Chains A and B, each alone.
Chain A
């Protein structure tokens, strides 16, 4: 079994693989990240059978935390399998912060957090802002400190899907991209290494200052969101709110009471950036 280790924000991973290629790709893309000694979680990329290790190789995702019905991926998508496996450990295992399924960027020590369904554009928005004057903190999970309420970065590789790939290749001209993986279960996928400042500052938290619920594809508008609705939507965006018990409740309550929230609709990146700047000036 080949092995690769990486530290992303506060979480440390060990990835084992029966094939060397996905780990070479990870090592290249994560080359500027720290290497941990004792990992928090182990994941394994293993063949579904001995035969399928060599003929039309098929990667099954195993690890400390597993989904029983996770479909295997072709070896060409091994990098995606590793990323999905690492995300799964966080979603099912992490108990050290309140985990929100959200993206975040930082400016002047304060964080802008964006959450929403898949396809809302939160990931692409964070990637774009991270290349336009903000510090990128993460495009998948934001970790809220259980004592101080700070947002802790989790700047893993940025996972770009479909149209976002071309958009970011035009924005991040000197960006380092992973291989293009076509027709995955999630469409076309290409990973982008976060900007150097995001990796260098991955241990630096920021105070949450604004929460946005973006929706892509509608005419530009801004709506207020009632605290009760924010609370309910964030319980659904958190995979460990219930497991954290009273700490989860007090952390989320404080977050909702102190962080202003807005829903925004937008049709393209320029429109979104203008809305973000306007709201950042007004609320944050």
Chain B
């Protein structure tokens, strides 16, 4: 029996189906779930089902870990809130921290790494100064990297807190400035939803659009199954009749309709998400995305090297125009040589 990422997709989609797994199947499933950073999510999905004892121990451990990540993410968000107490603009939590702070299904069991926040671009100097004063410091000392971030990226160079050793990414929009779509960051901030502690999260449509843009308009699809699970949860939680037309309109406004449509199609295809009929039309390229998203073997190693390479090249192609890409790779190559 040869396993790939579909084993994990199937287990998340139909947890009861894991009753058919033998020890080799469980071993492959748990290994792939861990490398895709979905073990905590899988543990949540399998809660209450009968599993072999050894598996139950591993899932219990994953639940402890997920609770730890949830706790530290909320603590880190609160540290940022206090550091920015004198800042009058909105501080918007993004990705995993936003999901747990807003109590969304997408946050349940989720792996959370860095803290991601968004503020108005004009206020970056003030926010940066406040964070530096509160103990965060630059990770990259390299002048080229620093200048690259400031001129072309959608976020400040990453900061790390010197005592807690945790990273913060400060965004002012959701895609690199060199990418072709130009999302309306001001509208995202204007319509963000307030939490009770004074912090904000993106409104439902923008949250979903950001997740789709991150997956299909920016990166090389690493960790894509987790990203797609976030999208599944957001669509399930928010997707009433009024939501879908509003989502299409909002996505078009941000010039991100194509990645959002792809996210809806693939989420429906892989996780069986309930989406309106009109959103389900299969695109001829979608099968390559499925192949890339599920390219893992039973040791958790990446497979389909050529497909991976194509998506790697594509990710850079999306991020910047060709001449700029050439200059960037040349500089990076000279520095490493």
Give A residues with C-beta under 8 Å from B: 1, 12, 14, 16, 36-40, 42, 44, 64, 93-96, 242-245
* Contact between chains at B55 and A38 (CB < 8 Å): yes
| Cα distance A245–B69 in the bound complex, in angstroms | 11
Interface residues of B in 30-70 (CB under 8 A from A): 30-31, 34-35, 52, 54-55, 57-58, 60-61, 64-65, 67-68
The chain A residue with its CB closest to the CB of B58 is A40
In whole Å, how far is A9's beta carbon from the nearest beta carbon of chain B?
13
Which of A14, A42, A96 has the most B CB atoms < 10 Å from its CB?
A: A42
B107 on interface, CB distance cutoff 8 Å: no
Known: A1-B299, A245-B67, A245-B71. A42 touches B54 (CB 8 A): no
Specify which chain B residues have a CB less than 8 angstroms from the CB of A44 in the assembled complex: 299, 301
Residue in A closest to B65 when the chains form the complex, CB atoms:
A95
Q: Which residue of A has the minimal Cβ distance to B25?
A: A38
List of B residues within 8 angstroms of A40 by Cβ: 54, 57-58, 61
Contact count band on B: 20 to 34
Is B26 part of the contact surface with A, judged by Cβ < 8 Å? yes
Q: How many whole Å from B18's CB to the nearest CB in chain A?
A: 12
Q: Which 5 A-B pairs have the closest CB atoms?
A: A38-B54, A37-B23, A95-B64, A243-B68, A95-B61
In chain B, positions 64-104 with a C-beta closer than 8 Å to chain A are 64-65, 67-68, 71
Question: In the complex, A6 Cα to B6 Cα: how many Å?
Answer: 28
Do A243 and B64 have beta carbons less than 8 Å apart?
Answer: yes
Whole-angstrom distance from the CB of B215 to the nearest CB of chain A?
23
Q: Which residues of A contact B54 (CB under 8 A)?
A: 12, 36-38, 40
Bound together, the chains give a CA A39 to CA B28 distance in angstroms of 10
Tell whether A64 pairs with B34 under 8 Å between CB atoms, given A39-B27, A42-B300: yes
A16:B68 contact, CB within 8 angstroms: no
User: Which residues from chain B contact A94 at a C-beta distance below 8 Å?
Assistant: 61
Q: Given that A12-B54, A38-B55 are known contacts, is A64 also in contact with B23, CB under 8 Å in the complex?
A: no
Residue pair B57, A96 in contact (C-beta under 8 Å):
yes
CB-CB nearest in chain A for B297: A1
Chain A residues within 8 Å of B31, by CB: 42, 64
Whether A96 touches B61, Cβ cut-off 8 Å, given contacts A37-B54, A64-B31, is yes
Q: Is the CB of A38 within 8 A of B299?
A: no
Across the interface, which residues of A come within 8 angstroms of B301, CB to CB? 44
Measured CB to CB, the closest approach of chain B to A250, in angstroms, equals 14
Contact (Cβ within 8 A) A42 B71: no
Return 10 A-B CB contacts under 8 Å, by A number. A36-B54, A37-B52, A38-B23, A38-B26, A38-B58, A42-B300, A44-B301, A95-B64, A95-B65, A245-B71
Contact of A38 among B30, B35, B60, B71 (CB under 8 A): B30
- Per-position 1/0 for B1-29, Cβ under 8 A of A: 00000000000000000000001001100
Q: Are A38 and B27 in contact (CB under 8 A)?
A: yes
CB distance from B7 to the nearest CB of A (A): 14
Distance A44 CA – B300 CA, assembled complex (angstroms): 10
Asked whether B60 lies within 8 Å of A245 as measured between CB atoms, the reply is: no
Given contacts A42-B300, A64-B34, whether A244 and B58 have CB atoms under 8 Å apart is no
Cα–Cα distance between A16 and B23 once the two chains are bound (Å): 17
Residues of A contacting B64 with CB < 8 Å?
95, 243-244
**Nearest-neighbor residue (CB-CB) of B28 within chain A:** A42
- Residues of A with C-beta under 8 A to B61: 40, 93-96
Q: Which residues of chain B are near A244, meaning CB under 8 Å?
A: 64, 68
Bound CA–CA A37/B67 (angstroms): 27
Question: Least Cβ distance of B220 to chain A in Å?
Answer: 18
Known contacts: A36-B54, A64-B31, A64-B35. The answer to whether A42 contacts B68 by CB under 8 A is no
The residues of B that contact A242 with a CB separation of less than 8 Å are 68
Question: What separation, in Å, do the CA atoms of A1 and B35 have in the docked complex?
Answer: 18
